[in-house]
Amino acid sequence: MSANTSSGFSTKKSGSDLIARYGTLVLLLIFLLIMLFPFFMITINSFKTEAEYLANGPFSLPGSFDLEAIRTTWSLTDYTTKLINSLFISSTTALLAVGLSLFNAFALGIGKIRGRTFFLMFFLMAIALPPESLAYPLYYLFNQIDLYNTRLSIILISSALHTAFGTYLLTSVFRSFNPDVLESARLDGCNKLQLLYRIIIPLSWPTLSVLFVFFFIWTWNDFFLPLIFLISNSNQTVPIAMALARGERGMVITTQSAAAFLGVLPAFIFFMLFQRTLTKGVMSGASK
């Protein structure tokens, strides 16, 4: 009797777990389709001719993959220059922000400095500060030191803003380290730099990789700051160039879709390339 009851309870439990698992999978699949639908629409309309779009509408698949809209958008926006600018600004900003966050968090999370709570509150307030409130004072500052309308201005501003988040996150991670491991390294003769490079960085590599991916994508997608600080055509980034192309050049819908496609595609490729790194970093943080 007891065995039958236990078996029935186990069967009911496994059945409910199976329903919950497949229900979650279906729900995630629906969310995935919703997220990918805009990218799918701009992709199929980027490879249509204007006549084909007007004849069949936006939801039809392209009869043949026509590259005229891509070539026109690439030429009109000088896309090669914009792509180089975005890659340089995003990668440099991500590296600089991760490096600054690492040293700040090492001092706050591992080192014993006074006023650590005050500094963490300062970085927390910096995270909550909207970039729009910094536009005028930063414009005045960089204009005075002759860095306005340079890629370096965006690198410095974005690095400082991202460092606030990175410092706060890495400080929490460093505080969770086993103090016995750190004390053993000190007893073995590690100085502060050796402790950082030989112990802290290898243990924190997944988290640092996640921060790099986030900082790169955030900088790539940033629209407001480059719009204010990069007014020369030769210094503009991809999001700015694509927005101006859609708004000023009187493009038809196929070339507008091509502009959106070229603006999203590099970030999408970057995310796919570093997807495994991002997953490992998130899972490592969850296991800690």
Please indicate, yes or no, if residue 259 is contained in any of the structural domains: no
Q: Are 145 and 151 in contact (CB under 8 A)?
A: no
Write the pLDDT tens digit of every residue in 91-141. Answer: 999 999 999 999 999 988 887 777 777 888 888 888 888 888 888 899 999
Structural domain contains residue 282:
no
CATH value at residue 88: 1.10.3720.10
Find out whether 174 and 116 touch, Cβ atoms under 8 Å. no
Number of continuous H segments (helices) and E segments (strands) in the chain: 14, 0
d(CA 223, CA 234): 16
182 and 45 assigned to the same domain: no
Cα distances (Å, whole numbers) of residue 185 to 108, 161, 171, 175, 191: 19, 33, 19, 16, 9
Give residue-wise pLDDT tens across range 229-257: 998 989 999 999 888 776 555 567 788 88
Percent of residues, the chain, with pLDDT higher than 70: 89
The predicted structure's pLDDT at residue 6: 52
pTM: 0.83
110 and 232 assigned to the same domain = yes
State residue 286's pLDDT score. 46
Q: What is the largest CA-CA distance in the chain?
A: 86
Answer yes or no: do 157 and 49 share one domain. Answer: no
Q: Does 94 lie in the same domain as 235?
A: yes
Residue 82 is predicted with a pLDDT of: 93
Per-residue pLDDT, 83: 93
Higher local confidence (pLDDT), 55 or 146: 146
- Given CA atoms 219, 214, 45, 37 in this order, what sign does their dihedral have? negative
Is 205 in contact with 212 (CB distance < 8 Å)? no
pLDDT at 225: 92
Q: Give every CB contact of residue 104 below 8 A, 6+ residues apart in sequence.
A: 123, 163, 166, 167, 170, 171
HSE toward the beta carbon, residue 75, CA cutoff 13 A: 8
Tell whether 257 is covered by a domain. Answer: no
Provide the pLDDT for residue 86: 94
For residue 124, tell me if it sits in a domain: yes
Q: What does the block give as tokens for 145?
A: 């030191």
More confidently predicted of 117 and 142: 142
Residue 245's pLDDT is what?
A: 74
Instruction: Give one word for 144, left, alpha or beta, with left for phi > 0 and alpha for psi -120 to 50.
Output: alpha
Same domain, 123 and 24: no
pLDDT reading at 198 higher than 50? yes
Judge whether 267 lies within some domain.
Answer: no
If asked whether residues 203 and 116 sit together in one domain, one would say yes
Distance CA 200, CA 186 (A): 12
Same domain, 205 and 107: yes
Span 251-283, pLDDT tens digits? 677 888 888 888 888 888 888 887 776 666 555
The highest-confidence range among 59-73, 114-128, 178-192, 204-218, by mean pLDDT, is: 204-218
Residue 49: inside a domain, yes or no?
A: yes
The DSSP secondary structure of 74-120, one letter per residue, reads HHHHTHHHHHHHHHHHHHHHHHHHHHHHHHHHIIIIIS--TTHHHHH
Mean per-residue pLDDT, 59-66? 81
> Does residue 168 share a domain with residue 45?
no
Shared-domain flag, residues 128 and 183: yes
Q: Which residues make Cβ contacts (< 8 Å) with residue 170, sequence separation at least 6?
A: 101, 102, 104, 105, 109, 204, 207, 208, 211
Q: Which residues of 67-98 are buried (b: 16+ CB within 10 A; e: fewer)?
A: eebbebbbeebebeebbebbbebbbbbbebbb
Residue 128's pLDDT is what?
Answer: 83
pLDDT in tens, 163-177: 999 998 898 888 888
Report how many domains make up the chain.
2
Cβ neighbour number for residue 141 with a 10 Å cutoff: 14
Q: What is the pLDDT of residue 282?
A: 57
Residue 70: inside a domain: no
User: 11 and 88, same structural domain?
Assistant: no
| Distance of alpha carbon 182 from alpha carbon 195, whole angstroms | 8
pLDDT in tens, 71-80: 888 888 889 9
Question: 189 and 51 in one domain?
Answer: no
Question: How far, in Å, CA of 173 to CA of 194, rounded?
Answer: 19
**Whole-angstrom distance, CA of residue 2 vs CA of residue 186:** 59
In this predicted structure, the answer to whether residue 13 has a pLDDT above a threshold of 80 is: no
Domain that holds residue 166: 78-249
Higher pLDDT, 280 or 145: 145
Cβ atoms of 248 and 176 within 8 Å: the answer is no
Q: What is the mean pLDDT of residues 181-198?
A: 81
